[in-house]
């Protein structure tokens, strides 16, 4: 069996507000995919459970304390396999929020979008795939 490069696990959150709009994070300009909108989240650390990693990432990025019970796995997206670099795989979870206003704590901006607006904004390729999967039935 030939050696495969490792993969990088990333977790992301589709957060629905009480008005049916969804939270997106705009990446800072100086980062990879700078200026594009994405589902908030981040990398799973070695030895970390994906849902616990998402709770940690959302607390760090948005100051929002979620519980594991609030998270529902809803899909994933992955880069095509590449023989030289680790493949990026994003696990998407969904939760609802109707509490205090949320702000980006680590740079960038946040915005709330209807499903139709969300699929029309500029996003990285994997976030486009995640959004399509999340809203496939709602937009038909």
What is the end-to-end Cα distance of the chain in Å, rounded?
A: 43
| Residues in the chain, overall count | 140
Q: Which comes out higher in pLDDT, residue 94 or 107?
A: 94
Confidence band (pLDDT; 50, 70, 90) for 81?
Answer: confident
Q: Residue 76 burial (CB < 10 Å; 0-12/13-18/19+)?
A: middle
pLDDT mean over 13-31: 91
Angle at 15 between CA 123 and CA 70, to 5 degrees: 140
The whole-angstrom separation of Cα 123 and Cα 52 is 25
Q: Which domains does the chain have, with CATH numbers?
A: 7-135 (3.90.79.10)
């Amino acid at each position: 069996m030939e050696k495969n490069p490792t993969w990088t696990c990333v977790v992301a959150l589709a957060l629905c507000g009480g008005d049916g709009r969804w939270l997106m994070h705009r990446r800072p300009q100086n980062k990879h995919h700078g200026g594009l909108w994405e589902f908030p989240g981040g990398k799973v650390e070695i030895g970390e459970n994906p849902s616990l990693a998402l709770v940690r990432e959302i607390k760090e990025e948005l100051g929002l304390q979620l519980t594991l019970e609030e998270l529902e796995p809803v899909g994933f997206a992955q880069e095509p396999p590449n023989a030289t670099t680790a493949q990026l795989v994003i696990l998407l979870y969904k939760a609802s929020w109707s509490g205090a206003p949320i702000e980006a704590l680590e740079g960038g901006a946040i915005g709330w979008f209807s499903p139709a607006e969300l699929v029309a904004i500029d996003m990285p390729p994997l976030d486009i795939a995640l959004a399509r999967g999340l809203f496939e039935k709602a937009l038909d």
